[in-house]
Amino acid sequence: MFIRLVDDCDQFVAGDGSLLRELLHPGKAPLEIRYSLAHATVPPDEKTLPHRLTNAEVYYIIDGFGAMFIDDECQPVEPGSAVYIPPGAVQYIENTGDHELTFLCIVDPAWQPEGEEILDDQ
């Protein structure tokens, strides 16, 4: 059995500016999975940098309120929202609430630095 607590994961600033804790990644633990799972936070009144991945991604909002931007679309997100982000789509998320926006990021196949492109701020 493999269990990892979010508080046991090192927090770092991701390329898009979010605060990230990587929970599961096939290259960093003896796991037979092809996806990666990370816990992300964005402080109030901040947003991540526009970026795109070569892989599909899903955000699952745990806490807080925000606006999700994918290509030319924008939709509000709240706890319980699951957002599918297709491969190659320009994406970023903005915290529109008064406390941290917290969400899970699932990337399939697993996130790799060479599969992410950070774009100029919009």
- Tens-place pLDDT, residues 9-60: 999 999 999 999 999 999 888 899 999 999 999 999 999 999 999 999 999 9
pTM of the full structure: 0.94
What's the mean per-residue pLDDT of the chain? Answer: 95
Vertex 10 angle, CA 4 and 13, to 5°: 130
Which residues, other chains included, contact 114 with Cβ-Cβ below 8 Å and sequence gap of 6+? none
